[in-house]
Structure 1
Amino acid sequence: MPYHATAQRPGWDALPAAVRAALSARLGAPVVEARVATAGFTRGFAAVLRTADGGDAFVKAAARAEQPHLVNWYAREAAILARLPAGLPVPGLRWTLWEAGWYALCLDPVDGHTPRLPWHPAELDATLAGYADVAAALSDPPAELADLGLPHLADLARDDILWWGEVAAGREPLPPLPAPAAGRLTELVALESRLPRYAAGATGLTHGDLRVDNVLIDPARRAWFCDWTWLCHGPAWFDLVGLLITGYASGLDVDARFAAHPVAADAPADAVDVTLAALAGYHLTAAASVPPTASTQLPAHQRWTGEQALSWLARRQGWTAPDGRS
């Protein structure tokens, strides 16, 4: 997947004149350049804006009438960013703005690039090191974050992530399963069903959407973590597995990297398998019903992610295809 080039976003000139004027006024000078973000799967406006006085800012914006879900997501992210512990590799929130039915949030820009696949091992290791710092800071979350009423991964799993049980019950069609996962529905249901119980015991917070396109690598090879809409109560190892799916697809030793990571210290022995089963079911079923407000690249991302998760899981489980091949 070309995660650095998946977005389909409006340009600066596509924003209403009143919105452009309000943003320029808030930035303190006219906008003279807009570098639209090319990663991501929403159709919201997202760009680094340069002003006539030489300033830079990263701005995301969406219209309430056309994309109310994005407005809600951006507002939630702004509330979270304002309350995250200081010093983390996270873009800082500057301000938010309502104008002409549009909601915008302004962040500090990060001079960095989306990691390309296959992962460069040094960039993946830098990302894992950075995530260790983030997870440590969120293991005992500050009260102001808890006061936001953030969701719990255990509830999200039951309500939206676990789909193999729905497939087994006949309420969802069986998505195409690559060998050797074909014929393993019973095992997939059993594995994913453990996730709510495992997640319920977590006391810290986790990013909730740790993907390669939510990471930026700066010139010093430090990793920065973006898109904080889905912060939730849950174990950090869940996000770690999700991130490492792309590492598996890159041919890297992801099992060793998971085992060596600090967040894996208190993970259940089958945490990787349980998470892979859950994420595979989520992505493969979601690929069939992509909302029109999403990038047309989203189904390919979901199918590819689900297939890679199943491939990694099959290797760990020692499953073999019907003809005996592993």
Structure 2
Amino acid sequence: MTPTSPPPVPYHATARRPEWATLPATLRTAIGDRLGAPVVEARTAGAGFTRGFAAVLHTAAGGRAFVKAAATAEQPRLVDWYAREAAILDRLPDGLRVPRPRWTLHEAGWFALCLDAVDGHTPRLPWAPAELAATLTGYADVAAALATAPAGLVGIGLPHLADLARDDILWWGEVVAGREPAPSLPVPVRDRLPDLAALESRLPVYAAGATGLIHGDLRLDNVLIDGAGQAWFCDWTWLCHGPAWFDLATLLLTAYADGLDADALFARHPTAAGAPSDALDATLAALSGYFLTTAGSTPGTASPHLPAHQRWSGEQALGWLARRQGWN
């Protein structure tokens, strides 16, 4: 198995979101009031896998802001996610390149979150070397700042990756036990289910001792590259206690898919220092099982492109792991 294909839909074009004009008029008026002037232009975000509203709004007074919004009755999970992200962003350490929250509001049965707008773009694939280097350097700064969990963040009750893994990420063990149907697998790994289950079971063990915080959902589409070439990190809903090398592995799936030396990129990164020798293998096993077994079920809050991207991500994780294990 080798990395030979790009994602099914470019990451900057995966979203299916409502347009500004389709939002309730009272909500649009309330947002304009909070921004200090009527909205005259809305640039809808093309990246992401939810159906929530998300756009950079320009006002008649020349202001800019990024606003997310979801209907409380139809999209309660999104409302919870946006509210949680607001609480997290408000408590992240100063100096990090993350969008900062301005305000939230409830209006017309909707919840809206307003953030500072980042003037940047989602990295394109194949990775531009400078953008990949900026992203990896930027994440090293984030990981260093969160290596000791800030008290304000701990106080809001963040989950632990070890628990999340046991509850929702580890699926190969379920397949081996017959509680979950096996996804379609390529010939080289069809007989490796026990190995996959054994490898993924190490992830919660390794994550249990982590004292720092991680992004928890570090993908290419949660990165923006600004005009100065620096990386910003977005969508912080899944912040949790865990080892930063987990974030690094999730980010580098796209580097592997590009045919880059993802092993070397992982090994050289500061967040991999001191990681167990098979931490990457355990993570890839867990990610491959999670993506491949959950690709068939798409929640109503998700973009229709999510299943194909999950399958693709699972195939990249499994291909990378198979090459490392010599299963090809």
Q: What range is the shorter-chain TM-score in?
A: over 0.9
The corresponding residue for 1:322 is: none
Alignment partner of 1:302 is 2:321: no
Runs of 4+ in structure 1 over 4 Å off: none
Structure 1 gaps of 5+ residues are 320-325
Shift of 1:119: 1.1
Confirm or deny: 8 A CA contact 1:49 1:59 kept in the other structure. Answer: yes
Provide the secondary structure at the position in 1 that maps to 2:188: coil
1:116-169: per-residue Cα shift (whole Å, max 9, x none)?
111112211110000000000000121000001000000000000000011111
Provide the secondary structure at the position in 1 that maps to 2:282: helix
Shift of 1:28: 0.4
Which runs of structure 2 are paired with 1:114-133 in the superposition (5 Å)? 114-133=122-141
The corresponding residue for 1:267 is: 275
TM-score (norm 1): 0.97
Confirm or deny: 8 A CA contact 1:121 1:252 kept in the other structure. Answer: no
Q: Which whole-Å CA distance do the structure 2 matches of 1:57 and 1:265 have between them?
A: 38
Shift of 1:178: 2.3
The AA in structure 2 aligned to 1:296 is: P
The corresponding residue for 2:245 is: 237
Shift of 1:241: 0.3
The AA in structure 1 aligned to 2:117 is: P
The AA in structure 2 aligned to 1:143 is: A
Provide the secondary structure at the position in 2 that maps to 1:180: helix
Q: Percent of counterpart pairs with the same letter?
A: 76
Q: Which whole-Å CA distance do the structure 2 matches of 1:211 and 1:119 have between them?
A: 13
1:284-316: per-residue Cα shift (whole Å, max 9, x none)?
011011112210100011000000100000110
The AA in structure 1 aligned to 2:171 is: W
Alignment partner of 1:54 is 2:62: yes
The corresponding residue for 2:51 is: 43
Q: Which whole-Å CA distance do the structure 2 matches of 1:188 and 1:258 have between them?
A: 20
Structure 2 gaps of 5+ residues are 1-6
Alignment partner of 1:216 is 2:228: no
The AA in structure 2 aligned to 1:38 is: G
Provide the secondary structure at the position in 2 that maps to 1:228: coil
Provide the secondary structure at the position in 1 that maps to 2:189: coil
Which runs of structure 2 are paired with 1:1-326 in the superposition (5 Å)? 1=7, 2-319=10-327, 326=328
The corresponding residue for 2:4 is: none
The AA in structure 2 aligned to 1:144 is: G
Count, aligned residues: 320
TM-score (norm 2): 0.97
Confirm or deny: 8 A CA contact 2:215 2:239 kept in the other structure. Answer: yes
1:50-99: per-residue Cα shift (whole Å, max 9, x none)?
00011000000001100000000000000000000001010111111111
The AA in structure 1 aligned to 2:63 is: G
Shift of 1:251: 1.0
The AA in structure 2 aligned to 1:76 is: R
